[in-house]
Structure 1
Amino acid sequence: MKKIMILGASELQLPAIQCANSMGIETIVLDFDANAIGRNEASKFYEVSTLDYDKVLEIAKFEKIDGIMTICSDRPMTVVARVGEKLGLNTISYETALKATDKGLMRKALFENNVPIPQFFICRTYEDVEHAVNSIQGECIFKPSNNSGSRGIYLYDENKNLQDAYSYSKQYSTDNIVLVEEFMKGPEVSVEAFVINGEVNIIQITDKITTGAPYFVEMGHTQPSSLPNDIQSQIRKVAIKGIQALNIDNGPAHVEIKVTEQGPKIVEIGARLGGDYITTDLVPLSTGVNMVELTIKNALNFPVDIKKLFLKSSAIRYINDELEIPEEFKTKVTYYFNKDIQLSDIKSSNDRRGYYIIQTMNLDELDSVISEIQRINERR
């Protein structure tokens, strides 16, 4: 029996644990939270931080693992890569993991490889921030150098307090570095890709809905994209160029892109599966491709073959109030709501109370179902 180490036992990692179990693979799962939801699903569980390289390596050697991975989470990727390099496992390089998790290093790599990106400044001090804002001369996005889930994202303009914007973003950065970037206007998408022996395979393009300014928390995703085919072709080319610029030579990649008046430009790239149920749920529902299984096979150096089984439509919509789902839609809709989360300003993905996921035959039917759910619940 092959052994795979999975860093993380939260809800995000649960699909990986369950999928590996179903494949007859022994799961060695680590998480600092003794009560993590994936604990009882794991073959073996260790109460260890996924960021503790020395401890993770020690356990990996003891268990004689055949592969190591994490899904939908940026921060453990550097540990995955370091352990992979040390033990000769099939992971991305540590250098690539750094570029894919540190936004400053990522921007530098993309810039050096002529990948379309916004104007950016890496700021270590308040004086750096002042210089960046004066140079951009317009709306700016503030973001911490090494966080995710929309944490620390803030849209600044001349009507807002610069120190407040800087302080808000900086508090979410573990290295106290903040990126200040030109604010890009236009539709936002993500690209779900998988790299096999250096070849980038684009599996799906996902349309994105956010709360907008100032925090831009993601509130919905739809597959496939409804953008024109020529725009989607440009998106694919930019995504591939970005993935190659970071030297992601195997495994999944999740690329976030804004379609500006100057063309598609990269927001960020993750050397991982997309979160928010994009790759664990929406991709299988719209294409039949199980990207979690692909990631497990890749980590174990098994042959990986990508075959789209069908082309349907799928979507997730995040909500902050309970919903009534019409009886005729219940076979098409998965619904979840957490009553324990109190209503608050939505500043990050943690502030969302629930969601519903839909699969339909096409985008027209998808739009119709969503519109009807919204109409019924507006009358309540």
Structure 2
Amino acid sequence: MTDADSVFDRALAAIEKVKKDFGELDGVVSFSEMAQPLVARLIEKLGLPGNSSAAVDSARDKHATRRCMSEAGLPTPRNFLITREDELDAASQLVGYPAVIKPIHGAASLGVVRVDDHEALLRAYARVRREMGSVRVHSGIVEQMASDDEGEGNFTTTLMMEEYLDGPEVDVDVVFSEGQAVYGAVTDNWPTLEPYFNETGSNSPSILPSAQQRELLELGVASVKALGFDMGVFHVECKYTSRGPRLIEVNCRMGGGPVRNMNLLVWGVDLVEEQLLLAAGIPSRPPVAPAPLTHLAEFSVNAQRSGVLADVSFLDKYDVMKDVLYVRPLVEAGAKVTCVEDGMPTWVCEIMVQHPTSTQAAIDYVNQIEAAIQKEMPIEARKAK
């Protein structure tokens, strides 16, 4: 029996020990994407507050999410579950182009690729299957192993194909309590690095027209309900397309990266606090600021060329600039980095800035800092072995 096979029993035994040592538990919670199915099954076993494992499984499975959306009468992109390579022709015929192939389970855009014709689909399918073979789950995080890492990946998943969605992408962060949405906020995501959909940046509050924001919020709430959830913090990814709002996916936990800080600093809502309250069975009624408390922009800086990052200390001077909340390296000095022309791009560092009154001013400022960092970034050519 592997660790994955025995994790439920080991977690249950650990909980029983905690109960013996400290008394009854009020709840079980995790902020890790990969842990959500385990959490749901533990709370079902223990009779604690939470959502059903069926709802969590439907959210974790992107193809099942599409089915739930369709059954609820919500707009759903054309899609096809690919279980074998000989189904690619049928998928191509049904979905059409441009399209996206993606794992039905995953995280951080790993294995998500845009394809514009059938030949591109065949190439991308082979590449994604190969790349997903080098993906592993380590400490609850899905990560791509370097080509020279020892060992094999431990992450397996089926792929699906669905129509490409045009338009700006957003995050809709939602808090549900007692079956109703008690908080919702829209954060604008900036254009991703295609064909891999690597994230680049975001801003809060949204600068989309208020009518579009309302439609996106309504779709986010309806999507959470369609999957069968009635409590918790959700990170819902959507696009406002030429045909209106469309769902990308529902994450049944708080979003990662800057999400907690953006909601807390802009709207005064701590998503961690709300999730902990809900997990303990306490209804959530977050106090939401009537107007933005500040205006934020953040940039996940991707490598613009491949090689070895020689140093990260050059970032220090940017971290102390006025209205910069942080500049943090995401890789260590000496790490290999990849640009989009050579594969899935590497995030080198992350930046967050604020402006007291203007989201656009924050966006302009963080873009200026990113441009300066790119000029100075010491990426050296890899030495041939």
- Name the TM-score, length of structure 1 as normaliser: 0.80
Cα–Cα, structure 1 residues 344 and 50, in superposed 2: closer, same or farther, change >3 Å? farther
Partner-residue secondary structure (3-state), 1:281:
helix
Match of 2:336 among 342, 345, 350: 342
Counterpart check, 1:333 vs 2:304: no
Q: State whether residues 149 and 348 of structure 1, in contact with CA within 8 Å, keep that contact through their aligned partners in structure 2.
A: no
* In 1: Cα distance, 2:5 partner to 2:283 partner: 27
Cα–Cα, structure 1 residues 342 and 379, in superposed 2: closer, same or farther, change >3 Å? closer
Aligned-pair CA distance for 1:286: 1.1
Counterpart check, 1:271 vs 2:263: no
Counterpart check, 1:151 vs 2:110: yes
Q: Which digits, 9 at most, give the CA deviation of each residue in 1:219-260, with x for residues without a partner?
A: 212111111111111111111111110111001111111111
Q: How does 1:1-380 map to 2 (within 5 A)?
A: 52-64=7-19, 65-71=25-31, 73-158=32-117, 160-171=119-130, 172=132, 174-278=155-259, 280-309=260-289, 311=292, 312-320=294-302, 323=315, 325=317, 329-337=321-329, 338-340=331-333, 341-345=335-339, 351-361=346-356, 362-374=358-370, 376-377=372-373, 380=376
Partner-residue secondary structure (3-state), 1:335:
strand
Aligned-pair CA distance for 1:167: 2.6
* In 2: Cα distance, 1:379 partner to 1:274 partner: 30
Q: Which residue does the alignment assign to 1:24?
A: none
AA in 2 matched with 1:93? S
Cα–Cα, structure 1 residues 245 and 376, in superposed 2: closer, same or farther, change >3 Å? same
Aligned-pair CA distance for 1:166: 1.4
* In 2: Cα distance, 1:190 partner to 1:53 partner: 31
Moved more, 307-316 or 184-193: 307-316
* In 2: Cα distance, 1:376 partner to 1:352 partner: 16
* In 2: Cα distance, 1:120 partner to 1:272 partner: 25
Q: Which residue does the alignment assign to 2:379?
A: none
* In 2: Cα distance, 1:234 partner to 1:263 partner: 8
Aligned-pair CA distance for 1:379: 6.3
Moved more, 214-223 or 195-204: 195-204
Aligned-pair CA distance for 1:360: 2.2
Partner-residue secondary structure (3-state), 1:52:
helix
* In 2: Cα distance, 1:345 partner to 1:326 partner: 23
CA RMSD of aligned residues (A): 2.5
Partner-residue secondary structure (3-state), 1:216:
coil
AA in 2 matched with 1:137? G
AA in 1 matched with 2:297? A
* In 2: Cα distance, 1:87 partner to 1:368 partner: 50
Aligned-pair CA distance for 1:111: 1.1
Q: Percent identity?
A: 24
Partner-residue secondary structure (3-state), 1:255:
strand
AA in 2 matched with 1:118? P
Aligned-pair CA distance for 1:378: 6.3
Q: Give unmatched runs, 5+ long, in structure 1.
A: 1-31, 33-47
* In 2: Cα distance, 1:220 partner to 1:369 partner: 13
Partner-residue secondary structure (3-state), 2:224:
helix
* In 2: Cα distance, 1:378 partner to 1:270 partner: 32
Partner-residue secondary structure (3-state), 1:99:
helix
AA in 1 matched with 2:282? F
Cα–Cα, structure 1 residues 334 and 94, in superposed 2: closer, same or farther, change >3 Å? same
Q: State whether residues 170 and 177 of structure 1, in contact with CA within 8 Å, keep that contact through their aligned partners in structure 2.
A: no
AA in 1 matched with 2:324? K
AA in 1 matched with 2:328? Y
Cα–Cα, structure 1 residues 326 and 123, in superposed 2: closer, same or farther, change >3 Å? closer
* In 2: Cα distance, 1:326 partner to 1:169 partner: 36
Cα–Cα, structure 1 residues 51 and 358, in superposed 2: closer, same or farther, change >3 Å? farther
| Count, aligned residues | 331
* In 1: Cα distance, 2:9 partner to 2:122 partner: 38
Q: Which digits, 9 at most, give the CA deviation of each residue in 1:87-145, with x for residues without a partner?
A: 01111111111011111211111111111221111111112222111222211100001
